[in-house]
Amino acid sequence: MVALARSRSLALGALAALVCVLPAAAGAAASDGDALFSLERARRQQQRDATAASAYRSDVPWPAQGEADAPARWLRATVGGEWDQQKTLLSNGRGEPDEIAHDSLGGGTWFVDAGGEFFRAGAFAGGLAASYWGDEWEGSDFDAHYPSIAGWLDWSFGEGRTLRMRYDVGHARVEGDGFATTHQFGPRFYNDWGKNGVTELRGEGYVYDFHTPLPDYPVEDLPIDGLCVSAGPPSLEPCHSMELEHGDRRDRGGWGFVIAAEHRVALDWNDSEIRAGYHYQHYIPDGAEHHNQSHQIWIEGTTHLPLGFVLNANVALLYQGNRNLPSFGDPSEFAPNMVYEPPGIRRHDRIARTYVALARPITSNVSTSVEWYYTEHDSNLEAFDYDGHRIGAYVTAHFQ
């Protein structure tokens, strides 16, 4: 049974969605909503980048349009606590999807993000950024750490037009062991339309190298006339279909690309901003199991409320279709020591995500936020049909 792990532990392997946001000046924290939102925002706020590792990349700012507007260097650190309904489908299909998806854990998490523009010469500018994300969960074997480094080079040409080349590299560790190395690279084009907003067009490639191969499950059982006989003590696990070599088929390492567009516009009302976009993603893994493509649309808004509060909300709709047949059966059909058969249909998922956050500055450099994230994951395969909530409370210190 392939594992669809929790969003934080398989964020490097599943094709999730985020993109970078404009870091805000800490001195203007009371009036700039972006500065107030913390780790959960950095990971989930827009869900519009199909490359999953980007969920923990540094927030590189959109290009400045003039030397006077050049972004300062920034440092932001967030710590918080979260309650999460698990989305782990255990190997070999133990448990029903709803039962597993609604199991829950609590834990702590943190995110440090620093960088800035380090040179500007005529029409050219460039910078570096780094981030470090980690979490610790009570009773979990998926505590993870993910440091990353980003570099970019901008070329401004014409009025309000900028071409950027960006490269990111990161290395994830789970329970202290190397889990994956990620590379993301590609061009981005920005056009400033003045009062009508700013548009970003992006093409990006990415490569994932997973360091721990998946074994064939179960590794010690042999089928005899449709039954599994364990080489050791009697097994309570359902046996895998012998028609497939599951380890190789489920290898998530590979490469992919994203084509995306985003537009954001400031409103002359309550210091608000609306952002919306579309992305197409195609992923070609080493194993046939995870070869897929997806389409996603999303819309997001930020506005200021009385008493210094800032509200941010996002809705995203995604359709993802797999190219190949799955190597697992429906959990409800599993029985101990019985060989299961794959369903023989390709997986198609329709995913709706909602994110809402409420934040407030405490000082010009410190803010707090309470954030809620909900996923409704409808699939034609029972193993991937679930929903779940994540709630977090965070404190963020930001300097620029």
pLDDT value of position 372: 92
Instruction: Average the pLDDT over 257-274 and give the result.
Output: 91
- Domain ranges in the chain are 26-210+246-320+347-399
Cα dihedral 246→100→212→11 (10° resolution): 110
pLDDT greater than 70 at residue 50? no
Predicted confidence band at 223 (pLDDT cuts at 50, 70, 90)?
low
* Among 248, 245, 284, 313, CA closest to 40: 313
pLDDT greater than 50 at residue 17? no
Q: What is the pLDDT of residues 62-98, one digit of tens each?
A: 886 555 555 678 898 999 998 887 645 333 334 455 5
DSSP 239: B
Give the sign of the dihedral formed by CA 323, CA 325, CA 331, CA 336: negative
pLDDT value of position 105: 74
CA–CA separation, 139 and 145 (whole Å): 17
Residues listed for the chain: 400
pLDDT value of position 5: 36
Q: What is the pLDDT of residues 31-47, one digit of tens each?
A: 355 556 766 666 554 44
The model scores a pTM over 0.75: yes
pLDDT value of position 155: 95
CA–CA separation, 265 and 109 (whole Å): 32
Residue with tokens 């991937």: 384
pLDDT greater than 90 at residue 51? no
| Mean pLDDT score across all residues of the chain | 76
26-210+246-320+347-399 carries CATH number 3.40.50.150:
no
CA–CA separation, 287 and 215 (whole Å): 13
pLDDT value of position 290: 84
**Beta strands per DSSP E along 307-385:** 310-322, 348-361, 366-379
pLDDT greater than 70 at residue 284? yes
Q: What is the pLDDT of residues 226-255, one digit of tens each?
A: 666 555 555 556 666 655 556 677 788 899
Determine phi and psi for 41, rounding to 5 degrees. Answer: -65, -45
Report the share of the chain in percent with pLDDT over 70: 67
